[in-house]
Chain A
Amino acid sequence: MKLLIVFCFILFSITASATELRGTGDMGVIVERASGGLLVVEHSSNSQLAAIEGLGDLSHASVVYSRDERYAYVFGRDGGLTKIDILAGRIDKRIMQSGNSIGGAISQDGSLVAVSNYEPGGVRIFDAQTLKLVADIPAEYAPGKLSKTVGLVDAPGNRFVFSLYEGNQIWIVDMSNPGKPDIIRIKKIGKAPYDALITPNGRYYIAGLFGEDSMALVDLWHPEEGARKILKGYLRHDEKLPVYKMPHLEGWALAGDQAFVPAVGQHKVLVVNTRDWTLNDEIEVKGQPVFVMARPDGRQVWVNFAFPDNQFVQVIDVESHMLIKTLEPGKGVLHMEFTPRGEAVWISVRDKNRIDVYDTATLNRIKTLPAKKPSGIFFTDRAHKMGL
């Protein structure tokens, strides 16, 4: 009898959950990189909804979303491309598309997913529904020489833009006609582009250069003008420190006409005037910044750091450029993600096996969630942002 009741209860719960409708606008995923898994979470009441395993090597994994915010595309280090149904909490499709990859992007119309590969160097573009190969674009910068590709983003006009780390080039791939990609190759953009970003309006593509003290900017309204260097010599007056982790440029903090940018090899956040791309100010911070991210309303900028300062997070007031708080969530703060309207921020704390949720008004921690060696956090509102 007892068994029967339990059975009925289970049956009831299954039917109930199967018929219960829910949106995905408050959902997201967290990468558990050491175990090759993913947590599906929601930020209305800050809880875990599902755990998914079997995604391979997720070091440096990143995620983009389908425009209906139901599917997450996960780009793994081992070349794995996995399409996850976050509503069902399961893998929908998975392919191995290269030997070593670094990230990806989804096209403006949502029909194509592009992956940036280190090995073999280049970009491969897939049908977003079926994950069938649509275009293979080897990053051949000299006869027989393929470059690692970095800083892949989507741009208006169903274009993808990326940089060639060894090739010192920026390529713009127009996929308006998917069967016949049209490629613009901008050469000699500067030495060793290591990452890039596109401004939220989709107009400017900016690559960080590891090999020199400047950045390369392309106006995507006028690709025929090529790339120009901005922030030339921003380190000239300082000694560059060894860089223990490359900064990320994605999610560049733009607030008004100021952009907050991580300085490579310095304990500084640079403030750049976006009208003429000149340096406005430099803010001293705790360590070498990795992510410099603006709260969605643009009033605060949150910064995390490279080893050996990766236990800290600092908050900068955008108006005054002053540090307003230094938090110490614990060793291995790898990523931060704001809720869509920015009242909270989720922080992954790798060595504590924990996600911390902070209230961005009080700067107090309001919740923690367990996660195995968490790295990237990706909420579904990224689906509707260019470059994310």
Chain B
Amino acid sequence: MRSYPLLLVLGMNSLLAESVSTLRQAELQELIHQDCGSCHGMKLTGGLGPAITQQALENKSHTFLKNTIRDGRPGTPMPPWKNLISEMDIDWIANYLKQGGVKP
């Protein structure tokens, strides 16, 4: 989390090509289950927010997921995460969710 402002400075495009480090993947997994989990459930089966299991997201596109995570859903409690995580992180999370918690 600390190194993120640096990533921003380096610029997104060059980074998108690179992969999320194993360490970062573990951090993001933790973030998904513990922090997204405070609304969507630790096992992502839903809470105040909807379920975001692979099955629940079957008909949602990768782009839709990325937009939702990045910008939030106005009119709902889903907040934008763009100030806390990078575009690359968002892309990784969208993949992770689409693949039902399997590391992409």
Contact of B39 among A78, A246, A351 (CB under 8 A): A246
**B35 in contact with A118 (CB, 8 Å):** no
Spot the interface stretch: B11-19, B54-62, B72-80: B72-80
- What's the Cα separation between A124 and B83 when bound, in Å? 40
- Min CB distance, B37 to chain A, in Å? 6
**B48 in contact with A118 (CB, 8 Å):** yes
Contact of B1 among A33, A243, A308 (CB under 8 A): A308
**A246 in contact with B38 (CB, 8 Å):** yes
- Min CB distance, B13 to chain A, in Å? 25
**A59 in contact with B84 (CB, 8 Å):** no
Residues of A within 8 A of B1 (CB): 308
Residues of A within 8 A of B (CB): 33-34, 57, 59-60, 77-78, 100, 102, 118-119, 148, 150, 165, 192, 194, 210, 242-246, 307-308, 332, 350-351
Given contacts A242-B72, A242-B80, A243-B77, contact A119 B34 (CB under 8 A): no
Task: Please list 16 pairs of residues, one from A and one from B, whose beta carbons are closer than 8 Å in the complex, sorted by A's number.
Answer: A57-B43, A60-B38, A77-B45, A77-B47, A102-B47, A102-B48, A242-B72, A242-B83, A243-B77, A243-B79, A244-B84, A245-B35, A246-B38, A246-B39, A246-B48, A332-B34
Contact of A118 among B43, B46, B77 (CB under 8 A): B46
**A33 in contact with B46 (CB, 8 Å):** no
**B35 in contact with A59 (CB, 8 Å):** no
Is B42 part of the contact surface with A, judged by Cβ < 8 Å?
yes
**B45 in contact with A350 (CB, 8 Å):** no
Chain B residue at smallest Cβ distance from A290: B38
CB contacts between A and B, total, < 8 Å? 65
**B45 in contact with A57 (CB, 8 Å):** yes
Given contacts A246-B39, A350-B34, contact A165 B45 (CB under 8 A): no
Name B69-97 residues within 8 Å CB distance of A. Answer: 72, 77, 79-81, 83-84
Chain B residue at smallest Cβ distance from A265: B79
**A210 in contact with B42 (CB, 8 Å):** no
Contact of B35 among A34, A78, A243, A307 (CB under 8 A): A307
Residues of A within 8 A of B35 (CB): 244-245, 307
**A100 in contact with B47 (CB, 8 Å):** yes
Residues of A within 8 A of B77 (CB): 192, 194, 210, 243, 246
- What's the Cα separation between A351 and B30 when bound, in Å? 10
- Min CB distance, A188 to chain B, in Å? 18
**A77 in contact with B72 (CB, 8 Å):** no
**B48 in contact with A59 (CB, 8 Å):** no
**B42 in contact with A148 (CB, 8 Å):** no
- What's the Cα separation between A118 and B38 when bound, in Å? 14
- What's the Cα separation between A126 and B48 when bound, in Å? 23
Chain A residue at smallest Cβ distance from B30: A351
